[in-house]
Chain A
Amino acid sequence: MIKEYKTIKEIASPLMIVDNVSGVTYDELAELELPNGEVRRCKVLEVEGDKAVVQLFESAQGINLAQSKVRFLGHPLELAVSEDMLGRVFNGMGAPIDGGPEILADAHMDINGLPMNPAARAYPAEFIQTGVSAIDGLNTLVRGQKLPIFSGSGLPHAALAAQIARQAKVLGDNEKFAVVFAAVGITFEESEYFINSFRETGAIDRTVIFSNLANDPAVERISTPRMALTAAEYLAFEKDMQVLVIITDITNYAEALREVSAAKKEVPGRRGYPGYMYTDLATMYERAGRRQGKNGSITMIPILSMPEDDKTHPIPDLTGYITEGQIILSRELHRKGIVPPVDVLPSLSRLKDKGTGEGKTREDHAPTMNQLFAAYSRGKDAKELMTILGEAALSDDDKLFAKFADEFEQRYVSQGNETDRSIFETLDLGWDLLRILPRTELKRIKPEMIAKYMDGQDAAKAE
């Protein structure tokens, strides 16, 4: 028997205090019924004696303290999951908004999930070919990884994310693949861009979309990514699918978190974000992964726009400490017309070593990757020196490195959003670029390998 309380004492959006309650528990879901019959959802943030602090997921507009009723439902926020979710669109709270029928639930899952036992994780090791050289060759993505895209306002992160979603495949594999897309506080246009891109390639039938747009309630954004991840967990670990989760934009999520924290009058951490933001983000990001004995996997690509392109801002900073690397987009490259404008030097995939090499990609992958990084870094330094002192100040070697850096950006990184390069094309292109440099500078590659690939290629060309 669910009790109804008409004892709302205070509302300071998004928080509400309900008095004289009993049997209410922490993190419980509740419903607020307005006098006109409208129902809004909320959850318990704190209980002290007979007083409950409740957070509203929607706006507080029109709530009448005396006549509205609160019902506590006895369970946390849950999502009804089933395979029929594929191809459907839901709002940020998990209700269908595409005009289709309600989901016939196969199960109801707590959207907060449970921490994965590190002893039960399977280490991500399968190479995912995204068809993007800057990622495949240098910042390799593997199944079960969480690799965010750090972007800024006005940068084409959506195009890159859509390209990855379109092209991602595991070499020589035909497993069930699904995309879960969470729009968190983004505009209608940006969301449409993704949906159209899924539609054009036919991917829409294996996509689940959770949409909380910029004009939807901000507090709802705290649940949206968790809804998406709950759906992803179901598809990956119950239905053995390879799930790619794209969440955009994490910055909006963090802002919603700050809003609730401020309303609760908590002691703020850096820039007003709550001190527990690291833990909070981690409980989301860490839901990516693989489990032993399960075929499915969750690979996550969260997108976040760095305020003022500042990587040390708390949102990208804390994200970078949790995720397994990051793909950073650069405004400078974007201005130069490099598409996608991936800044490869600060970008990083921590799991690349497990997903590359013989049997996964090719034996020369790791050494050429290191050599390309080192050479590009030196080439950029040389170019910097050139702008100060003029080309004449450079040594002959440095001139070659500067040339290498230019060619690298133009040919390797800038491939356009439509090109789908295989990993072998990417690796061969790398060798091609390394040929610009003097042989003695290729210290990071074993001589046998240079002989095999560089001279081997030369020999093949000569024939």
Chain B
Amino acid sequence: MSGTVTKVSGPLVVATGMADANISDVVRVGKQRLIGEILNMTGDSASIQVYEETSGLGPGAEVETTGMPMSVELGPGMLDNIYDGIQRPLPEIKSLAGDTITRGVDVPALNREKKWEFTPVAKEGDKVVAGDVLGTVQETSTILHKIMVPNGVSGTVKSITAGTFTVVETVAVVEDEAGASHELTMMQKWPVRVARPYVQKYNPSRPMNSGQRIIDTMFPIAKGGTAAIPGPFGSGKTVVQHQLAKWSDVDIVVYIGCGERGNEMTDVLMEFPELKDPRNGEPLMKRTVLIANTSDMPVAAREASIYTGITIAEYFRDMGYDVAILADSTSRWAEALREMSGRLEEMPGEEGYPAYLASRIAQFYERAGVVQCLGSDDRQGSVTAIGAVSPPGGDISEPVSQATMRIVKVFWSLDSSLAYARHFPAINWLTSYSLYLDTLRPWYTTEFGQEYMENREKAMHILQEESELNEIVRLVGIDALSPSDRLTMETAKSLREDFLQQNAFSDDDAYSSYGKQFKLLDLILRYDTYCRDALDRGADMKAMFAIDAREEVGRAKVADPEKYAEIYNEIDIKMKEQIEKVVEESAEE
């Protein structure tokens, strides 16, 4: 069944004779068999968004529906791979079409030739339901890929075979109650715009460790939570996203480069295989799926890339893994929505964005969460969604930022003035927030004692006070402050420079364990406590600010990750001695 093109306007194509097609079906357009998706239908005419450049397409060209909605292929072979927005593997496009992405390239998402070693878990005669693990494949050195019974299938395992198979060969046969047998392969398909099912959703309760001090200690995110990173250009959004992708203690990372720079994706591609996971020493790429739809690639595929990414994330979640999905940037995705909406001549909402912008953003973030997966073994998995937002001019009053802020629970607000001062990560500690503090408090208390959160609050309080004192300093000068306020300013400076600042490009500083973060913050706050005590005993303020140990505090963040505790103890002792000395000397004078 095929229709005929009547109108072409950029990525929007209208075709008639499409009465048999369904909304959201994937279609092939023209001789080059460009990939498209049906957005609207009026009578037998369909409005189609085409995922490739439509140059050279005209009325009369043939349109063929595949009868299937936009789907991804799920199975072994996704990790360590890089896809475009509609799950076409870019390395294979390269070997077929060269350095540029030519049109109509048709490559399956999962390699059809590659053989995987399948180890059955289920046995013949077992009763299985959707989500049950049939067997496993060691996909990469770190990840055991669980082959699950696809949704909608249940019954008795008639046969299951160990051995090496491609993703399209049958590994098991399941007979359902009606007596029909289902031949199951290691691959399943899932429509991207539909969330994958689960048994039940839970409230997040464990933090996601990112190794970033301002995140883990100040504004933590929970596994299964949602966060947004808004910021103007040059404020380091991408570096923060890369840091999260590198160091987060999740099993799988899905990184979506959505309408961003080509070189940044190349950077990830070249760097991740070199980087070692701090937890097991394996290359980080072995746990990563990359989706790259750079800004010069077709805009319609950019719209799809977000859904492709989250569907893949949900699939790994269903295996019982903790997954993080990083989308850089959701603003580009929203712009793709706006562009298609404009071409469909829909009535625009705010700033030309379609009226359904907020609901689409909410739907995306709502696919995150901690769930009990389908299957009879009660396993839990989580998807943590972190999206970058690129507000025009850094002004977060625009629709995408606002719609995002309404739904996410953590907000890491990037600030260009911090970036100019080379304070990185340029996350502003006064405007950022995390609504997971209360839910995560028990975890921190169990692991490190009550001190962890108490220290955090103390530090936040000092930083808050600093911003107020800064106003006074600006009016009347720093000498007008009382010694105790001067100390607050000094401690705040130390908190900013020695704790919050973290160099992503320094080997010793890029990742900071919870223990190290806790001890480092404690060390800085101890300085404050000692000084306050000494001030009461009449110590000279300036002399205390100038003690030698402070230089060591300044370098404490790059301390050896194995030996930090001893080093910090030594600094602590020195600090205490030197302050005592100042007290004595002040008393003598």
Interface residues of A (CB under 8 A from B): 22-28, 45-50, 75-76, 110, 112-124, 144-145, 237, 266-270, 275-276, 278-279, 282-283, 285-287, 289, 291-292, 294, 311-314, 317-318, 320-322, 324-326, 345-346, 348, 351, 353-354, 366, 370, 373-374, 377-378, 385, 388-389, 393, 395, 440, 443
Cα–Cα distance between A373 and B421 once the two chains are bound (Å):
7
- How many whole Å from A282's CB to the nearest CB in chain B? 3
Cα–Cα distance between A22 and B555 once the two chains are bound (Å):
73
Cα–Cα distance between A24 and B299 once the two chains are bound (Å):
23
Which residues from A are CB-within-8-Å of B270? 123
Q: Is B361 an interface residue (CB 8 A)?
A: no
Which residues from B are CB-within-8-Å of A346? 234, 416, 420
On whether the beta carbons of B100 and A116 are closer than 8 Å, the reply is: yes
Cα–Cα distance between A267 and B346 once the two chains are bound (Å):
10
Residue of A nearest to B546 (CB): A440
Q: Is B476 an interface residue (CB 8 A)?
A: yes
Cα–Cα distance between A373 and B265 once the two chains are bound (Å):
27
Cα–Cα distance between A289 and B259 once the two chains are bound (Å):
17
Cα–Cα distance between A276 and B340 once the two chains are bound (Å):
10
Which residues from A are CB-within-8-Å of B420? 345-346, 377
Partner of B7, one of A48, A112, A389: A48
Which residues from B are CB-within-8-Å of A24? 58-59
Cα–Cα distance between A312 and B90 once the two chains are bound (Å):
34
On whether the beta carbons of A25 and B58 are closer than 8 Å, the reply is: yes
Which residues from B are CB-within-8-Å of A354? 267
Q: Given A23-B58, A279-B299, A283-B296, verify A119-B90 contact (CB < 8 Å).
A: yes
On whether the beta carbons of A270 and B6 are closer than 8 Å, the reply is: no
On whether the beta carbons of A114 and B234 are closer than 8 Å, the reply is: no
The B174-228 residues at the A interface (CB cut-off 8 A) are none
Number of A-B contacts (CB under 8 A): 214
Listed by A's residue number, 22 A-B pairs whose Cβ atoms lie within 8 Å are A22-B60, A27-B56, A45-B9, A49-B7, A50-B59, A76-B55, A114-B100, A115-B100, A115-B101, A118-B257, A118-B265, A120-B98, A276-B339, A278-B259, A278-B295, A279-B299, A279-B336, A286-B261, A292-B99, A348-B419, A373-B421, A443-B554
Partner of A26, one of B57, B233, B339: B57
On whether the beta carbons of B261 and A26 are closer than 8 Å, the reply is: no
Partner of A286, one of B7, B98, B295, B551: B295
Q: Given A47-B8, A47-B59, A115-B100, verify A320-B422 contact (CB < 8 Å).
A: no
- How many whole Å from B108's CB to the nearest CB in chain A? 16
Which residues from B are CB-within-8-Å of A110? 55
On whether the beta carbons of A275 and B55 are closer than 8 Å, the reply is: no
On whether the beta carbons of A282 and B259 are closer than 8 Å, the reply is: yes
- How many whole Å from A234's CB to the nearest CB in chain B? 13
On whether the beta carbons of B555 and A117 are closer than 8 Å, the reply is: no
Cα–Cα distance between A28 and B234 once the two chains are bound (Å):
38
Q: Given A46-B7, A351-B263, verify A266-B497 contact (CB < 8 Å).
A: no
Residue of A nearest to B348 (CB): A267
Question: How many residues in B have their beta carbons less than 8 Å from beta carbons of A?
Answer: 77
Closest 8 CB pairs of A and B: A312-B393, A282-B295, A25-B58, A393-B477, A286-B296, A114-B100, A27-B55, A320-B233
- How many whole Å from A438's CB to the nearest CB in chain B? 10
On whether the beta carbons of A270 and B8 are closer than 8 Å, the reply is: no
Cα–Cα distance between A283 and B390 once the two chains are bound (Å):
18
Q: Is B39 an interface residue (CB 8 A)?
A: no
User: Knowing that A291-B99, A345-B421, A346-B416 are A-B contacts, what are 12 other residue pairs whose CB atoms are under 8 Å apart, sorted by A's residue number?
Assistant: A28-B58, A46-B10, A48-B6, A48-B9, A275-B338, A279-B295, A282-B259, A312-B392, A312-B393, A322-B295, A348-B419, A354-B267
On whether the beta carbons of B82 and A47 are closer than 8 Å, the reply is: no
Of A50, A117, A317, chain B has the most CB atoms within 10 Å of the CB of A117
- How many whole Å from B490's CB to the nearest CB in chain A? 11
Interface residues of B (CB under 8 A from A): 6-10, 14, 53-60, 82, 90-91, 93-94, 97-102, 232-234, 257, 259, 261-263, 265-267, 269-270, 292, 294-299, 332, 335-336, 338-339, 342, 348, 351-352, 390, 392-395, 416, 419-422, 473-474, 476-479, 497, 505, 546, 550-551, 554-555
On whether the beta carbons of A25 and B56 are closer than 8 Å, the reply is: yes
Partner of B351, one of A45, A46, A48, A270: A270
Cα–Cα distance between A326 and B497 once the two chains are bound (Å):
26
Of B295, B352, B505, chain A has the most CB atoms within 10 Å of the CB of B295
On whether the beta carbons of B234 and A325 are closer than 8 Å, the reply is: yes
Partner of A116, one of B8, B53, B296, B395: B296
On whether the beta carbons of B234 and A348 are closer than 8 Å, the reply is: yes
Q: Given A23-B58, A321-B390, verify A312-B422 contact (CB < 8 Å).
A: no
Residue of A nearest to B233 (CB): A320
On whether the beta carbons of B352 and A269 are closer than 8 Å, the reply is: yes
Cα–Cα distance between A286 and B265 once the two chains are bound (Å):
12
Which residues from A are CB-within-8-Å of B392? 270, 312, 314, 317-318
- How many whole Å from B512's CB to the nearest CB in chain A? 17
Which residues from A are CB-within-8-Å of B266? 118-119, 121-123
On whether the beta carbons of B93 and A117 are closer than 8 Å, the reply is: yes
- How many whole Å from A368's CB to the nearest CB in chain B? 12
On whether the beta carbons of B56 and A117 are closer than 8 Å, the reply is: no
Cα–Cα distance between A112 and B7 once the two chains are bound (Å):
21
Q: Given A117-B101, A119-B82, verify A377-B422 contact (CB < 8 Å).
A: yes
Cα–Cα distance between A293 and B59 once the two chains are bound (Å):
40
Residue of A nearest to B237 (CB): A321
Cα–Cα distance between A124 and B262 once the two chains are bound (Å):
11
Which residues from A are CB-within-8-Å of B261? 286, 322, 324
On whether the beta carbons of B100 and A117 are closer than 8 Å, the reply is: yes
Of B232, B294, B395, chain A has the most CB atoms within 10 Å of the CB of B294
Which residues from B are CB-within-8-Å of A366? 505
On whether the beta carbons of A374 and B100 are closer than 8 Å, the reply is: no
Partner of B55, one of A26, A124, A144: A26
On whether the beta carbons of B99 and A117 are closer than 8 Å, the reply is: yes
Cα–Cα distance between A181 and B94 once the two chains are bound (Å):
30
Cα–Cα distance between A26 and B61 once the two chains are bound (Å):
12
Cα–Cα distance between A130 and B551 once the two chains are bound (Å):
36
Cα–Cα distance between A325 and B233 once the two chains are bound (Å):
8
- How many whole Å from B167's CB to the nearest CB in chain A? 21
